[in-house]
Structure 1
């Protein structure tokens, strides 16, 4: 790095971790990025469901600016023009218009326009259906850099099929200063932390709810919002509506095992590790997980994580694994995560990707001209 970078991020949320996995990802990444000497501004759409559940009002590592609508964001364009790079995240409200504004502004400023897809397999499934909620094929080609939560073959597909100039993996991560073993005595035999998702629920049913029915003597807990009221939870499954990031280590510390469940699109694509994997491992909690391609590139099955395909495998792990075996598994996973998947590692990868994209290259002006906001923002101050 020759000088500090000025980065503006337009993401789903930094201020609220309620009902989304984006906030904790951005917090860890941007804190570590700022620690490398860079300046960060986070622009967040002010929406009522996050306003009612804010758990980070004033981060000390970046400027957080809430904007009410697209017109207000356009008024913030001078701030974008001063940036070396603007990074737009997936699921940002009116994401196509926001992305077009970012691309056109960076073309004028000579900076890097990047897209950070925290939901890559979901995004590609939406594009296949013609659903352009926050991204279009034209925008993929216009962004200088496509950062993806999913690695593996998807990266080549983004470049070959969709025309992304550069597709690079940028997995989620964990901040070891915030996630560490608590030393607490476990209370629950198996825990799960995650917002309700219809495509995850069958796996949760198979790997937690059914084992709970079969083993009433064991204790389970499911934490996360938006679960339907009609789910038939067994009596030995405790429900918590929300566990904020500050309480995640304590939650994991009370768990002899914790469960990782992958969304269907991400399981099919593979190479899409959940932030819960890294958080739980950093906290020294052994992990049970569903299986997906590329899992072994993150944590080694049988040595750093246990793969369970059904209730029998779950109950076998819960009842037949000795405390010493659990401790060895947890310690091995923690070593792996701290060595390769900390927020500091991701911040270094982000810096390298932005500098690579900033190198002289074609500006893709033909693609930019197709964007709906490109003409509307040119020449504005």
Structure 2
């Protein structure tokens, strides 16, 4: 099958500002393009993301920025009509319900409609809390659900809600963008954490990072990310604010160790490694992560990643960490992700799924009443 045309409705491809899925989208879309597919990424002009772009329009995707109004959404949907595959990502941020209902309507009779969930715990909680949510009916009209993570519990939950197929497509690393760089004095620290302030993660950051920092007096610690400006911090913690994507490698490579703190829902669900896990591993950083089920599927605890259950354990790990061991852990993590967890690996899975499902669709007549 020749390359597919894919219309992808997501939060943003060109801006990581208040958009944790940007790295994921870029990695997936870039590698799908490398496999011959043609992706048009539709994103709303919302949340000042266009004012905080961190990449220009790429040569591996066409980016369409539409007005964040109902009329703007309708025009964007018409532009996507006729694609082989139409994708609605979760968490676009504006008019999500409209997009959820409309994407199956604009699929070709011999095409696919895909719901790509970058926050399955939140979507599933929403559906379980409201049996009248219109997405219950819309979900059954999608040909497949792809998820950012979650493992078998998420697959089973979507199946129980009527999804035809659910496949996790985990985060990964793009070696061209996340790789070792020389240390940068701006990011010198014993421990660093990068993440926006979110209600679903703040208490875990307080425990795993701020408490650990307080237990490491005299050891400099860094907090990167938006929203922390009015947060009381230990004296040894320096707040950097938003860290642009171009600085992520230096942020990961320079400190003795970097910390991953999962959102509460992601940790509870398990099998949900954040993009930060693979960004850090790709840069050969020594990563400490909070404990969650499934970490061993991605990195080997004790050899490729360090795992801590609370702030006291984080502080203990940092206090006992030598530069030599930190480098060894980072090098092992990088070797593992390059061998098994790049976006090229993920794109093979997505490619097989999409082309396989399309071959099935096109081998049989379109169902009666399917919109043209």
> What TM-score do you get using the length of structure 2 for normalisation?
0.92
Q: Deviations over 1:32-76 (max 9, x none)?
A: 111112111001111142233222342221111011133233334
The answer on 1:354 being equivalent to 2:354 is yes
Alpha carbons of structure 1 residues 322 and 364: separation in structure 2 relative to 1, 3 Å:
farther
Alpha carbons of structure 1 residues 91 and 36: separation in structure 2 relative to 1, 3 Å:
same
Paired residue for 2:175?
Answer: 176
Kindly state the Cα deviation for residue 142 of structure 1 after the two structures are TM-superposed: 1.2
Kindly state the Cα deviation for residue 174 of structure 1 after the two structures are TM-superposed: 1.6
Paired residue for 2:118?
Answer: 118
Q: Deviations over 1:122-157 (max 9, x none)?
A: 111122222988x71112211101001124223432
Alpha carbons of structure 1 residues 348 and 309: separation in structure 2 relative to 1, 3 Å:
same
CA distance in 1: counterparts of 2:229 and 2:130, whole angstroms: 29
Q: Deviations over 1:345-373 (max 9, x none)?
A: 1221211121232233599969x99xxxx
The answer on 1:130 being equivalent to 2:130 is yes
What is the count of residue pairs matched by the alignment? 366
CA contact (8 A) 2:287 2:305 kept: yes
Kindly state the Cα deviation for residue 23 of structure 1 after the two structures are TM-superposed: 1.4
The aligned runs of 1:339-378 (5 Å cut-off) are 339-360=339-360
Paired residue for 1:164?
Answer: 163
CA distance in 2: counterparts of 1:183 and 1:52, whole angstroms: 29
CA contact (8 A) 2:261 2:290 kept: yes
CA distance in 1: counterparts of 2:366 and 2:269, whole angstroms: 28
Kindly state the Cα deviation for residue 258 of structure 1 after the two structures are TM-superposed: 0.5
**In structure 1, the residue corresponding to 2:199 is in which secondary structure?**
coil
CA contact (8 A) 1:200 1:263 kept: yes
CA contact (8 A) 1:145 1:167 kept: yes
CA distance in 2: counterparts of 1:100 and 1:32, whole angstroms: 28
Kindly state the Cα deviation for residue 183 of structure 1 after the two structures are TM-superposed: 3.0
**In structure 1, the residue corresponding to 2:83 is in which secondary structure?**
coil
CA contact (8 A) 1:158 1:167 kept: no
CA distance in 2: counterparts of 1:293 and 1:20, whole angstroms: 25
Kindly state the Cα deviation for residue 306 of structure 1 after the two structures are TM-superposed: 0.8
CA distance in 2: counterparts of 1:275 and 1:160, whole angstroms: 26
**In structure 2, the residue corresponding to 1:318 is in which secondary structure?**
helix
5+ residue gaps, structure 2: none
Paired residue for 2:241?
Answer: 241
**In structure 1, the residue corresponding to 2:49 is in which secondary structure?**
helix
Paired residue for 2:217?
Answer: 216
Q: Between the two structures, name the one with larger relative contact order (CA 8 Å, sep ≥ 6).
A: 1
**In structure 2, the residue corresponding to 1:154 is in which secondary structure?**
helix
Paired residue for 1:282?
Answer: 282
Paired residue for 2:41?
Answer: 42
> What TM-score do you get using the length of structure 1 for normalisation?
0.90
CA distance in 2: counterparts of 1:132 and 1:182, whole angstroms: 51
CA distance in 1: counterparts of 2:155 and 2:77, whole angstroms: 33
CA distance in 1: counterparts of 2:132 and 2:59, whole angstroms: 34
**In structure 1, the residue corresponding to 2:174 is in which secondary structure?**
coil
Paired residue for 1:374?
Answer: none
5+ residue gaps, structure 1: 370-377
CA distance in 2: counterparts of 1:167 and 1:187, whole angstroms: 42
